Amino acid sequence: MTMLRSVSLVSLTAALVVGLSGCFGFPGGLLNQGSADPAAGGNASAEDALAGTTWDGVDSDGDSWVLEFQEDRTLGFTFNGASYDDASDTWGVAGSTLTVSIVFNDGIATMSGPYEAGDSTIDLDGEQDDALWTLTLSPQ
């Protein structure tokens, strides 16, 4: 009787685990992170949502910026009226952090801040050597 009870208990436990795992499942983002296919249970990634868009703003130093987030993850930009489009200027989203890297003649400027697909503004903290600034961007 003890052996039969142990086997029954193990069988019942296994059946419950299998049955309940279908009820709870994994969140779509866990298994399909970055999937743009709604049938796969995911959403377009923040990086894909940002690609091909243009944003502008004025930084804390009063400089005007226009950033064009290109499909190939390079950046076209206008800084105080002068336009640039160089393959060494890049952008990317890792997790929920947007990072922009721009190569100027006097050094590399890096700006980063939180970004989620659908955000109506982007707030970036910038630095180049000892210089620090903030930049708030809005979509054009």
pLDDT tens digit sequence for 39-51: 333 235 899 999 9
Cα–Cα distance list, 82 to 65, 67, 85 (Å): 10, 12, 10
Tell me which CATH code domain 46-139 carries.
Answer: 2.40.128
Q: What percent of the chain has pLDDT over 70?
A: 69
The more confidently predicted of residues 92 and 13 is: 92
Q: What is the pTM of this model?
A: 0.68
pLDDT more than 90, % of the chain: 66
Domain boundaries, the chain: 2-40, 46-139
Which pLDDT does position 31 carry in this prediction? 34
Residue 69 and residue 91 in contact, taking contact as beta carbons nearer than 8 Å:
yes
How large is the average pLDDT for residues 66-70?
98
User: Could you give the CA distance from residue 15 to residue 13 in angstroms, rounded to a whole number?
Assistant: 5
Q: What does pLDDT average to over the chain?
A: 79
